[in-house]
Structure 1
Amino acid sequence: MRVLDSHLHLWDPSVLDYPWLEGPLRARFAAEEIAGTIGEVGDERGFVFVQADCLEAQYLDEIDWVTSLAEQVGVRGIVAGARLDRGAATVRHLDAFAERPLVVGVRHLLQGEPVGFAATPAFRAGAAALAERGLTFDACVRGEGQLRDVIRLAAEMPELRIVLDHLGKPAVGTAATPSLPSAEWANALTALAAHSQVFCKLSGLPAEARGSWSAEQTEPFFDVALEAFGPERLMVGSDWPVSAVTASGWNSGADAALDAGAIGAWADAVASWAASRAVDVDAILWSNAERFYRLS
C-alpha cells in the first residue's frame, strides 16, 4: 500500500516561533520524531507539508527549514503560509516562492478570520495572484458560515484550485459518544463539491474528536464526502502531529503522550473504508493528492 499523506505538519520551537502551541504539542516534531511513526504506512510513502502557523514574519524561513528536511522525511510538496490580504506585500511574498520549487500551494488560515473575510477585495486580490501562479489554496475553516464562504470563493474564482482541509471540521463527537453528520454540514459540503476544481482531505477528525476516535465513528462523514466529491477528489491526510494527540493527551496537558502509530492507523482506517465502498483505494491514498498538487 502506497500513501501520499496530503497533510503533514512539522515544527521545532527552537527554530521558529509558534504562539498557538500548548500542552503535548509544544515540543519538536521534525525528522527524528516522525521516523518512529511512518514505518507502518507502507513501502512507498510521501508527504505534503502544510504550514504550521508560525509567526507571519517567519513564513519563508519555515519553507527553507522544511526544504532542508524534505529528502530525509519524504516531503514532496510544501503548502506555504501566506497572508493573501496584504496587497503588494502578498505579491512579493508569492513571487519569493519562485526560488523555492517545493512550494505547490498556500494556506491562509481562514478558521481564525470572521465569516465573510474570504469575500473581501483584499483577500480576493491575493487569491487571484495565487491562481495566476498556478498555486493551490488549502481552505481550513470551521462551521457552515465559513464553509459557505469557500463555496462562494469557488463559484466566483473557478480558476483557483481549492482543497478543503479536515472536511470543514464537522462536529464528530467522540468514540464513546459519536455524532452523526449534521444536515447543514452535509448540504454545505455537497454545494462545495459542485465546483469541480475543489477537492477534500479526509483528515483532521481525530483532533475534532479530541483524540478519542474510532474508524466506525468517521465512516458516516467519509460517506457524505464520497457522495459529494466522488472518489476522484478525495485524499488522505494524517494531520500529524495535531491528530496524534491521544484522548488522555487532551485531558492531561504537557505530560501526555502522543500516539506513535497515528499516521499508519489513520491511513489504515481510510483504506479499509474505501475498500469496503469498492472505490479506488490508491486514488484516495496517493494519486488524487499527486494530481491536485501536481507532484508527478
Structure 2
Amino acid sequence: MLEIVDSHFHIWDLNVLNLPWLEAYPSLKKNYTMDNLCKIYGNHDVLFKGGVYVEVDCDNTAKEDEFIFNLNHPLILAKIMRAQLCKSMRLPLGVAGVREPLHTVQSPRGRCLKKDFIEGLEILADNDLIFESCNRVEELTDLHKALSSVPQVKAVINHCGNITEFNTDYQQIMKKLASLPNVYCKVSGFPTGDTVFLKKLLDFLTSIFRTSRLLYASNFPVISLYSSFDEHLNTLRKYFNDNADFFSKNAKKLYKINKPQIRASVIRLRTEKASYYKKLHASPYPSVNEMIRQCGINQYKIFNRDDLLFSIMEYCGDDYEYDMEKMAHDPETIQWWKETDPCQTRIEGAAKDEWWADMQPVYDLNKKIPKGD
C-alpha cells in the first residue's frame, strides 16, 4: 500500500483564529480539522502517515502558534510557522522552518531582496531550518537572487511557484531555481482539468528537479478552489507511478520527520594511495555530494589515522537499505567509487558483504541513563 506524507496542508478553527483572507473565499469559511484530512485520505487505498502543517496567514501569529502546538496531534509530523524574516525573527521551538507569505497584497514587491530578508535566510541556514516560499510568479527572479546569495539555506517553492501560465519566462527562472542544490518544489497549486497543460508542467518539473527534490503536497483544503483533492491525488499517483520517494520519503528526509541515526564505520587506507585519496576528497564530485544528501545523510565526515579511515554519519531516512541501494545504482557515484575503492581495503574481520565495516556504539555522553529503583 502506498505510504503518503503530505508536505503541505492547512487546518484551522475559526472560533480561535481570524483569517481575513477568507472573506474572498466564502466556500472555505468553515473549520477544517485533522479528522477531516484523515477522512478524505481514508477514501483512497493509501496509508496516510501524516504531514507538514503550513501556516494559514492568520492575523495573530502567536495565537496560531499556540493553537497548533496545543493540538499536539500525532499526524502533524512537522510544522512550518509564520515569521517575518530578519536577524531577530521569532522562531518557535520545534519548528522545521518558517514561511513569510510573499504572494499576499500586504507583501511589498521586491520584499525578498531586502537586507533584513537576506539576513533572515542566513539565520535559517545557520540553524538548519527551512524557508518555505509562497510568492508571486513574476517575482521568482527575485527569489532566485535571494536564494543564490544564501545557497546553503534549504528552500521549498510552494505550489510550483504559483504558476499561472506555462511560458518561456516561467521555464527559464524555474530552471535557475532548480540549479540551486538546496531548492525543493512542492507539486501542487495547479488545476487538474487541463490535461495537456498538466502533462507539460509535470514533464518539465521532473526534467529540471531530481526526483528527490520534488514533494507531494495536497494543499488541503485550499485545493478546492481550483481542483479537487481526489482528482489531484489520483492524477499524481498515475503520473509518478506511486513513487515512494515522491509521496513520502523525500518529505521525511527534508523535514527530519525520522529520528536521526548515527552510524560509524571503518576501512583501511592503502598507504601508497593515501595522497590520491585525500586529493579526491578535497574536491569531490558535486553530484556525489548531492546523492549522499538525497539518500538521507545530513552529516558525513571521514577521519584518517595512519592506514585507517573512520567515518561517521547522521542518517535521517526511514529505510537505510533502500537508500543505499539507490546510491549504489547512481552512475556518477559508481564512477566515484571506481576512483576511491582502489585506495581502500577491508579491515580484518569485516563481514563478507561489508566494504566499510560497521562499528558499534560503546559510549554516548548525552544518553539518558535509567534511574535505579
Is residue 2:220 matched to residue 1:219? no
Please point out which of 140, 143, 166 is paired with 2:137. 143
8 A contact 1:115–1:149 mirrored in 2:
no
User: Per-residue deviation at 1:245?
Assistant: 3.4
Cα deviation, 1:124-169, whole Å, max 9, x if unaligned, reads: 122222222211000111223x111111122110121001000011
Please point out which of 232, 237, 249 is paired with 1:287. 249
Residue 46 of structure 1 aligns with which residue? Answer: 50
AA aligned to 2:199 is E
User: Per-residue deviation at 1:38?
Assistant: 2.0
AA aligned to 1:50 is V
Q: How does 1:100-249 map to 2 (within 5 A)?
A: 101=94, 103-112=95-104, 113-144=107-138, 146-171=139-164, 181-206=166-191, 213=193, 217-245=197-225
Structure 2 gap ranges (5+): 259-373
Distance 2:159 2:220 in 1: 12
SS in structure 2 of the partner of residue 40 of structure 1: coil
Structure number with the bigger relative contact order (C-alpha 8 A, sep ≥ 6) is 1
SS in structure 2 of the partner of residue 37 of structure 1: helix
Distance 1:199 1:19 in 2: 29
TM-score normalized by structure 1?
0.79
User: Per-residue deviation at 1:291?
Assistant: 1.4
Distance 2:145 2:127 in 1: 21
Which has a greater percent of helix?
1
Q: How does 1:4-19 map to 2 (within 5 A)?
A: 4-19=5-20
8 A contact 1:31–1:69 mirrored in 2:
no
Residue 255 of structure 1 aligns with which residue? Answer: none
In 2 relative to 1, CA 116–246 (structure 1 residues): closer, same or farther, beyond 3 Å?
closer
User: Per-residue deviation at 1:13?
Assistant: 1.4
User: Per-residue deviation at 1:246?
Assistant: 6.2
User: Per-residue deviation at 1:49?
Assistant: 0.5
User: Per-residue deviation at 1:32?
Assistant: 3.8
Please point out which of 28, 31, 41 is paired with 2:31. 28
Residue 65 of structure 2 aligns with which residue? Answer: 63
Which has a greater percent of strand?
2
8 A contact 1:110–1:141 mirrored in 2:
yes
Distance 2:216 2:8 in 1: 8
Distance 2:39 2:109 in 1: 39
AA aligned to 2:69 is T
Q: Which has the larger radius of gyration?
A: 2
8 A contact 1:267–1:285 mirrored in 2:
no
The number of aligned residues is: 252
SS in structure 2 of the partner of residue 159 of structure 1: coil
Distance 1:194 1:295 in 2: 25
Residue 251 of structure 1 aligns with which residue? Answer: none
After superposing the two structures, state which structure 1 stretch, 36-45 or 181-190, moved more. 36-45
8 A contact 1:139–1:163 mirrored in 2:
yes
Distance 1:110 1:190 in 2: 20
User: Per-residue deviation at 1:214?
Assistant: 5.0
Identity %: 26
TM-score normalized by structure 2?
0.63
User: Per-residue deviation at 1:70?
Assistant: 4.3
